[in-house]
Structure 1
């Protein structure tokens, strides 16, 4: 199933609202109108360069939002339906799409319809009851919830734990949703597996690209760009059938600035994200080089889901260079929308240097990476430097220590081939 045309230009700012807005950790009976403060950050997102707001859970829940108890009600800790409608309107006025986070694999224990529980838990968490996805009533409910909020103005859904839901269930529900809302974007959280097969069998437009996420930070930390080359080969194969959702951070993982063992390699990670095919997402705070380590314990996500200050003026100044780097790379991405579905070949690969050759068959960019402290020379052919620092001598580029650059070349003389070819 082809994605809506507008997704070709989508770059998401991914926000976890309960954390961003400093909500209480547990459900509260009284409505606190926090969503207007998120609305006030939309101009900041526009300055960043993104074109969409990907929201974490906003529906009534017991604690962290992934234990929903009422999918038709905005969580009182965030506000009410009017606050959410204002946020949608404000985003759309700025040309931004809004993606919702749908938790339909499991619910909180206080969910009203306990007769819809399957009897299982979600991954051993006793407070998360798995839904019976074979039940026609559950299928009708999920379909209706998704259409209800699309009718209200949302532009798509991220399906939490899509990897855990039966594929026939997703195919049925999403088929019905697409018939009513053909312009809605439907992307699923999938950590591993046969991505193209999952997309084909469920009717989702895309899945989360965890393989590439892992390869980016791991290859940089280990000084093993062959790992990145292999992941890009698999990534390019995915692009033949669908466009994955790409990222270097989200609400479930250690922040990229903390994950990297050398902060000088943060630009390299971002250069890869924004110059290979995919629909990129920036997790709030990553554009400011926020740190945060996820821990496997109760409350272990708190460090990567922090409260943002009241206004952008209250941000610490040390994040400004990373913000400008994001602006530069996002700007390049938006000037080259063909990158959305372009394939990438890693060539001239060594442990610490690589040239990433990205093309759609007509246009072509090169991303050069050097992870070593000393300069390295790579062959790029005739090219023009778009971003980064690199010296050129004829058809060779001299990349400084810990340097990177994005280069434009006149044409794409060959399609992507095997890594190292």
Structure 2
């Protein structure tokens, strides 16, 4: 990982158009921009208090609808503001020690993207920008006709992406989350990043990858990190099925990735059903977070998950709305019922930041049954942390030598844990360090 600072970052992941309650469609021509980025500014202290040290933003560039149908990579979406609003957000984040990473949608664009409009008109300088399918029509992204696929073999597309990434890094961003990176040839990223890093050697680049050979793609692309969907699935699925063998298997694969890159880990994001709805038993929310924050990776928390918000993703028009809700003007407008989940996140993020070596920790199951697992995480300098998880209806005594370890966190709360640390209550968890 070239950007060493990213190894000490916990991201607060925000989808700006939803978070700020922006219109579902682009503003009509001539409409002045709305300064909704200021709305995000009002939540930066909240993110810092949560324990986060970075702000991972969803799309903020001029787009037709949801932000992933970009029409101008060099302009802030007028539903969110303008360049001045962006500069204020960058400055406010920097004052609080928060890094800012932007969402780069460079696999596809909206049909109103000027180069595509010119391509459709037959301009030969731009027809090469876009891929064509076997039927001769312009290719789209995964069946979404309004998302037109760029041709990454075209040098002008490479030049455009390099200019965009460099422009916003020049303006204060610290890196990029590259949307649908898996759909782009890895050689494209390798060349683009080599050129961008000449001016910004400390920038961080994380690519979206859902399945496949993560290590091979990271190595071929030169990306610093990739989204770890395999671990995400194993966390909630193993808890729902009461099958920790799945989690142990996924963690074994997860650790092997560290030989190539440090994954970007998460328990929720803007594309998936909320964790609170994914889990069949709400008592296991702490278990999921304990895993996320005690194993290797660069973790992110999707806004609202820290409040226990619910939301189910549906495969239909508007099916993402439930997982991308508006937040009130200020934290004081939140439902107080979410405070216990917020405090839980605070405690576990604080534990993570007290043990920064966890970013590259090697984790393996020291004891494993279907309903109980002891995950031993070890650092290169001999550091040790053990996470005990129990999803049985009875308390469980772990047959482990825990000498020299003290309780660093538990489902009973920091001040209420007592007795033998090897005994974990029904549906409880304990972290020993």
Task: Determine helix, strand or coil for the equivalent of 2:377.
Answer: strand
Taking the aligned partners of 1:35 and 1:236, their CA distance within structure 2 comes to: 38
CA contact (8 A) 1:255 1:291 kept: yes
TM-score (norm. length: structure 2): 0.92
- Which structure 2 residues correspond to residues 39-188 of structure 1 after superposition, within 5 A? 39-114=41-116, 115=126, 116-118=129-131, 119-188=138-207
- Determine which of 251, 260, 266 is the counterpart of 1:232: 251
- Which structure 2 residues correspond to residues 16-415 of structure 1 after superposition, within 5 A? 16-29=15-28, 30=31, 31-114=33-116, 115=126, 116-118=129-131, 119-361=138-380, 362-381=382-401, 382=403, 383-388=405-410, 389=412, 392-393=419-420, 397-408=422-433
Task: Determine helix, strand or coil for the equivalent of 1:236.
Answer: helix
Taking the aligned partners of 1:180 and 1:346, their CA distance within structure 2 comes to: 43
Taking the aligned partners of 1:380 and 1:306, their CA distance within structure 2 comes to: 44
Taking the aligned partners of 1:239 and 1:259, their CA distance within structure 2 comes to: 27
Task: Determine helix, strand or coil for the equivalent of 1:126.
Answer: strand
TM-score (norm. length: structure 1): 0.95
* Range with greater deviation from structure 2 (147-156 or 176-185): 176-185
Structure 1 residue 391 displacement after superposition: 5.3
Question: Which whole-Å deviations, capped at 9, do the CAs of 1:201-234 have from their partners, x for residues lacking one?
Answer: 0010010000000000000000000000000000
Structure 1 residue 88 displacement after superposition: 0.5
Taking the aligned partners of 1:57 and 1:179, their CA distance within structure 2 comes to: 25
**Partner residue of 2:119?**
none
**Partner residue of 1:411?**
none
* Range with greater deviation from structure 2 (229-238 or 177-186): 177-186
Structure 2: tracts of 5 or more residues without a match? 117-125, 132-137
Structure 1 residue 239 displacement after superposition: 1.2
Taking the aligned partners of 1:385 and 1:230, their CA distance within structure 2 comes to: 26
Structure 1 residue 140 displacement after superposition: 0.2
Taking the aligned partners of 1:365 and 1:82, their CA distance within structure 2 comes to: 45
Taking the aligned partners of 1:298 and 1:42, their CA distance within structure 2 comes to: 31
CA contact (8 A) 1:60 1:74 kept: yes
Question: Which whole-Å deviations, capped at 9, do the CAs of 1:366-392 have from their partners, x for residues lacking one?
Answer: 000000111000033212111004655
* Range with greater deviation from structure 2 (29-38 or 187-196): 29-38
**Partner residue of 2:123?**
none
Structure 1: tracts of 5 or more residues without a match? 409-421
**Partner residue of 2:121?**
none
CA contact (8 A) 2:2 2:201 kept: no
Structure 1 residue 67 displacement after superposition: 0.2
Structure 1 residue 85 displacement after superposition: 0.5
Structure 1 residue 3 displacement after superposition: 2.8
Structure 1 residue 5 displacement after superposition: 1.5
Question: Which whole-Å deviations, capped at 9, do the CAs of 1:218-268 have from their partners, x for residues lacking one?
Answer: 000000000000000000000122100000000000000010010000000
Taking the aligned partners of 1:122 and 1:82, their CA distance within structure 2 comes to: 32
Taking the aligned partners of 1:58 and 1:298, their CA distance within structure 2 comes to: 21
Question: Which whole-Å deviations, capped at 9, do the CAs of 1:26-51 have from their partners, x for residues lacking one?
Answer: 00032111111110110000110100
Aligned pair count reads: 405
Taking the aligned partners of 2:266 and 2:341, their CA distance within structure 1 comes to: 16
CA contact (8 A) 1:246 1:281 kept: yes
Note the aligned Cα RMSD (angstroms).
0.9
Task: Determine helix, strand or coil for the equivalent of 2:285.
Answer: helix
* Range with greater deviation from structure 2 (26-35 or 252-261): 26-35
Taking the aligned partners of 2:400 and 2:334, their CA distance within structure 1 comes to: 39
* Range with greater deviation from structure 2 (231-240 or 110-119): 110-119
Task: Determine helix, strand or coil for the equivalent of 1:379.
Answer: coil
Taking the aligned partners of 1:117 and 1:392, their CA distance within structure 2 comes to: 65
CA contact (8 A) 1:391 1:397 kept: no
**Partner residue of 1:418?**
none
Structure 1 residue 347 displacement after superposition: 2.4
